[in-house]
Amino acid sequence: MRAAVVVDARGLRCPLPVIRLAQHVRDLEPGTVVEVWATDPAAAADVPAWCRMRGQEYLGSREVAEGDDGREDGPRGDHTAYVVRVVAPG
């Protein structure tokens, strides 16, 4: 399943992935599923923690190998996709 919204935070260091996520979620309808793509190891702890602190639903994560995303732009290489369902208004 591909999420409706992708926040590409690859190559960004903490706390920027979570800031980008929060900025996007502000404009989204409840129920929207968002994927955050990040290479920063801190995102593994911080995306779920953000969901808990801000009342959003954390759905899990998956590892994505280089080339899987089918996009040519942005930094290449392995990353993790963190999946979030918007519950509360951003």
Question: Can you give the binding site for other proteins, defined by CB under 8 A?
Answer: 13-16, 18-19, 22-23, 26, 40-42, 44-46, 48-50, 52-54, 90
How far apart, in whole angstroms, are the C-alpha atoms of residue 24 and residue 55?
A: 15
> Which of residues 67 and 77 has its CB atom nearest to other proteins in the complex?
77
Residue 29 DSSP label: P
Whether 14 is a known active-site residue: answer: yes
Cβ-contact 19, 52 below 8 angstroms: no
> Which of residues 44 and 71 has its CB atom nearest to other proteins in the complex?
44
Q: Which of 5, 14, 22, 83 is catalytic?
A: 14
Which stretch of DSSP H or E encloses residue 81? strand 79-85
